[in-house]
Structure 1
């Protein structure tokens, strides 16, 4: 994976974290329908776990050794 691809992956992971933060806030405090709350929470935690694994991959993969 090139350095540019790693940059885009880190941007996607940060975006997923922001989206999951908003969805968790909505599911806890704003939405009253139980089914929608559960659906939003599942989507939020899935995005959060996905971004966690992406960041772990990026941190432990290290630099590419390019110029």
Structure 2
């Protein structure tokens, strides 16, 4: 945005807020809690596929018997 017409106080405040807009973890490293939740989601996804397959096999066996 153009800086004409703004007071000098606002211009200096704008420069100081630019530093605050940078993310705290800008080093692209994963936190421990992120890794824990990611692994938990993978385990839950694998369990959902496993139990879905198990129940599908039970249903197919019941259909073959009837």
Q: Point out which structure has higher relative CO (alpha carbons under 8 A, 6+ apart).
A: 1
Q: Which of the pair is proportionally richer in helix?
A: 1
User: TM-score category by the smaller chain?
Assistant: 0.3 to 0.5
If you compute each CA radius of gyration, which structure gives the higher value, 1 or 2?
2
TM-score by length of 1: 0.44
TM-score by length of 2: 0.45
